[in-house]
Amino acid sequence: MVSSAGSAIEWFDFFIYGTAAALVFNKLFFPASDPLVGTLLAFMTFAIGFVARPLGGIIFGHFGDRVGRKPALVAALFLMGGSTALIGLLPTYDAIGVAAPLLLVVLRLLQGIAVGGQWGGAVLIATENAPRGRRGLYGSFAQLGVPAGLMLSSLVFLVTTSTLDEKQFEAWGWRVPFLCSIALIVVAIFAQFNLEETEDSRQAKQERETSGASGASRSPVVEVLRKHARNVLLAAGAVVIVGAGFYLFVTYMLAYGTTVLDMPKSTLLNAVLVGAALQIPALMAFGALSDRIGRRKVYLAGALGMGLWAYPAFVLMNTERWPLVTLALVVGQLLFAAMYGPQAAFFSELFTAEVRYSGASLGYQLGVMLGGALTPIGATWLYAKYGSFVPVAGFLAVAAAVSCACVLVLSETYQQEEEPVALADESYADDEQPLTAG
- The ranges assigned to domains in the chain are 1-194+220-409
User: Max Cα separation, the chain?
Assistant: 66
Distance CA 252, CA 215 (A): 46
Looking at residue 38, what is its pLDDT?
Answer: 67
Angle in degrees, CA 52, 333, 111, rounded to 5? 20
Looking at residue 437, what is its pLDDT?
Answer: 34
Q: Which residues, at least 6 apart from 107, have a Cβ–Cβ distance to it below 8 Å?
A: 83, 84, 86, 87, 90
Residue 147 CA, distance from chain mean position:
10
pTM of the model: 0.79
Looking at residue 2, what is its pLDDT?
Answer: 59
Distance CA 298, CA 289 (A): 7
Classify residue 278 by burial, with Cβ atoms within 10 Å: 0-12, 13-18, 19+.
middle
Distance CA 291, CA 5 (A): 23
| DSSP label at residue 37 | H
Domain 1-194+220-409: what homologous superfamily?
A: MFS general substrate transporter like domains (1.20.1250.20)
Nearest alpha-carbon partner for 357 in 80, 136, 69, 55: 69
Radius of gyration in angstroms for the set of CA atoms belonging to the chain, rounded to a whole number: 21
Contact, 128 vs 69, CB < 8 A? yes
pLDDT in tens, the chain (438 residues): 656 666 777 677 777 877 787 677 777 887 666 666 666 677 777 778 778 888 988 899 888 888 888 888 888 888 988 898 999 999 988 888 888 888 888 898 898 898 888 888 888 888 888 888 899 999 998 888 888 887 887 788 778 878 888 888 888 888 988 888 887 777 777 766 666 767 777 777 677 666 654 444 468 888 888 888 999 999 999 999 999 998 899 878 888 898 889 898 888 888 888 998 999 999 999 999 999 999 999 999 999 999 999 999 999 999 999 999 999 999 999 999 999 999 999 998 988 888 888 899 999 989 988 888 778 888 888 998 999 999 999 999 999 999 999 999 998 877 765 444 444 333 333 433 333 333
Q: Which residues, at least 6 apart from 19, have a Cβ–Cβ distance to it below 8 Å?
A: 153, 154, 157, 177, 251, 254, 269
Buried b (16+ CB within 10 A) or exposed e, 159-197: ebbeebeeeebeeebbbbbbebbebbbebbebbbeebeb
pLDDT tens for residues 357-400? 889 999 998 998 888 877 888 888 899 899 999 999 999 999 99
Nearest alpha-carbon partner for 249 in 154, 182, 332: 332
